[in-house]
Every structure is written in C-alpha cells, then in structure tokens.
C-alpha cells in the first residue's frame, strides 16, 4: 500500500507526512510530485489538489480530504470515476468552531465594539446587556459544526433556530428546512451564523434578497465559505443600517486583498480564516484507520455524497 499526500494552500506536506508516520512508521508515504509508480498508489490525502492529477492512479481506492469542506475536490472536472471520497470529522475542529461562534455572538450581544469605542474616547458609559432568553441566534446549516455550535449557544440561554436543506429534529432548536422554510427562519433571528457547506445550491445564498428578510439591526457571522456571500450586497446592507455588524472569517479570495472594502469598514470584523483547523495529531489516526478499513473491504467512514456535494 502506497499513500500519496498532495496538499496546497498554506499547508506543509512534510508536516502531514510526519504526522502520519508518527501513527504508523511503516507506511509507504509519498509527497507530490514524487509519485513513483502510479500503480502503487491506493489512497491519496488531499487539500486543494491539482486538477486532473488524480486520474493517473489506476488502483486508487480512496480519496481522503484533509478537512470537512470538500468543495475544492469537486472543482476538479477530471476526478476518477467510482473512487469514494471521505472527509474529516474532527472533534477538535468542531470545538474550535463553537468557540469562534460563541465568541462573536457574545461580542455582539454584550456590545463589545461600542464599549471599545467608549474606552478610546475615555468615556465611562454603561450599555445594558440584552436578554439572551429574548434573543434568537440562527444557524444556516445544521450539520456537525452547526449542531454543536447551536448546542453551546443554547446552553448560554439564547433561543436557537436553524435552517437546513432537509428536515431535522434537534432538541432545543427551532428547525426550518427547504426553500419554504427560509423566510420564516430569517425573520426570527437577531444574529445569523453561516456554517453551510459550499454547493451549487448554497453559493451566493447570502445576497440582497436574503439580507432584506432579516430583522433590522441584526448581525451576520460567516465561518462557512466566502463564496456563500455576495460581497456587494453585504456591504450595502451594512451601509444602509439593515445590519449592525458582520464578522467574516472566510472570503472569495484569501488572503483578503489589501484594497478590499471589508478592511476599512467600521461594521466589519475580519479574522484570517482561523475559526477552526485540523492538526496532524488529531486527524492522522482517523484518516489512516479509514484508509486501512477501505483496503480491507470496509465501507468508507464519513463518505461524501457526490450528488449532494457534502
């Protein structure tokens, strides 16, 4: 069994090779582009791989994505047919995402930006905190990340609503689904948190039409993908006062270009795609166990549904 690692975009292939070798020193690990004999490659571990590069492996049994989001894989028009794709479900990443969501929900809930402005102006001014029990936090996306984050927000006393593609029954969450459920969901929330997967159906979903359906003076937090948002529409909603603030961790182009309007907008908080990440010590054992299971004939764990896109 030979395993190929092909990782781009700000990650070191060597760090991941060392992580997998620490789990099993006997592995035949190869780093792109040093493939060796393509017929020996039975599994590939990828993140933003080179399009067309995977079709050269005739005995490929599994494609392992290094994170939860798999949209970069499906951009490749030459994916090998019939090879299952597995994504990572990482408890540490899930916890980190919930930390990010709770942090920024509380920043808005406790009017932290205004308090910072008062400090800068040397003003001793009190802002009464809002009532969490009267504040609904809405989650666009109720997958692994959305459900876990919603549970942590709910535990702090907030009302929680969620919208997903299909119906879900989650304790403590008022759930909406499908196209008919989007409008009533949006009308109910004070803060909208986007944790959707990126698919053809969700690309550009945060647009002028969606934003106008939110209550006035609401907030938006995006830790999903930058391509969920139509930037000009979000900026217009902020400028008009429809939205009181937006926290953005993901963008169409990363790093965010220096001349982008988000950098200097008074209502925008930018973070450098650091809401949550995967680390070798956490995910290498899971990925290797999945590869070995598939090569034994087991069904892949966390398999991506190709037609659905996640």
Enzyme catalytic residues: 225, 273
Q: How far is CA 251 from CA 10, 12, 89, 159, 212, in A?
A: 15, 22, 23, 28, 21
Please tell me the distance from the alpha carbon of residue 213 to that of residue 217, in angstroms, as a whole number.
12
> For every residue of the chain, which 3-state class applies, written as one string?
CEEEEEECCCCCHHHHHHHHHHHCCCCEEEECCCCCCHHHEEEEEEECCCCCHHHHCCCCCEEEECCCCCHHHHCCCCCCCCCCEECCCCHHHHHHHHHHHHHHHHHHHCCHHHHHHHHHCCCCCCCCCCCHHHCEEEEECCCHHHHHHHHHHHHCCCEEEEEECCCCCCCCCEEEEHHHHHHHHHHCCCEEEECCCCCCCCCCCECHHHHHCCCCCEEEEECCCHHHECHHHHHHHHHHCCEEEEEECCCCCCCCCCCCHHHHCCCEEECCCCCCCCCHHHHHHHHHHHHHHHHHCCCCCCECCCCCCC
């Amino acid at each position: 069994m030979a395993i190929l690692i092909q990782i781009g975009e700000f990650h070191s292939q060597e760090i991941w090779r060392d992580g997998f070798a620490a789990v099993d020193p006997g592995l035949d690990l190869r780093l792109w582009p040093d493939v060796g004999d393509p017929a020996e490659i039975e599994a590939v571990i990828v993140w933003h791989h080179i399009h067309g590069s995977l079709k050269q492996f005739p005995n490929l049994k599994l494609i392992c994505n290094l994170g939860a989001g798999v949209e970069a894989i499906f951009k490749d028009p030459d994916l090998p047919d019939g090879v299952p794709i597995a994504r990572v479900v990482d408890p540490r990443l899930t916890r980190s995402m919930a930390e990010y969501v709770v942090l920024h929900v509380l920043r808005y809930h406790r009017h932290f930006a205004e308090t910072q402005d008062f400090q800068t102006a040397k003003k001793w001014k009190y802002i009464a905190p809002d009532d969490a029990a009267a504040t609904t936090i809405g989650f666009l996306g109720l997958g692994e990340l959305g459900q876990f984050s919603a549970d942590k927000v709910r535990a702090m006393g907030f009302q929680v609503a969620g919208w997903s593609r299909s119906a879900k029954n989650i304790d403590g969450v008022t759930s909406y689904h499908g196209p008919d459920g989007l409008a009533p969901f949006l009308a109910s929330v004070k803060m909208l948190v986007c944790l959707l997967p990126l698919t053809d159906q969700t690309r550009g979903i945060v647009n002028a039409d969606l934003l106008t359906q939110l209550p006035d003076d609401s907030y938006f937090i995006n830790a999903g993908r930058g391509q969920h948002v139509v930037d000009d529409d979000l900026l217009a909603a902020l400028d008009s006062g429809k939205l009181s603030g937006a926290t953005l961790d993901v963008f169409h182009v990363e790093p965010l270009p220096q001349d982008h309007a988000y950098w200097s907008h008074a209502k925008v908080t930018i973070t450098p795609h650091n809401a949550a990440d995967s680390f070798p010590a956490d995910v290498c054992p899971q990925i290797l166990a999945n590869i070995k299971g598939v090569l034994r004939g087991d069904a892949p764990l966390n398999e991506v549904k190709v037609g659905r896109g996640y």
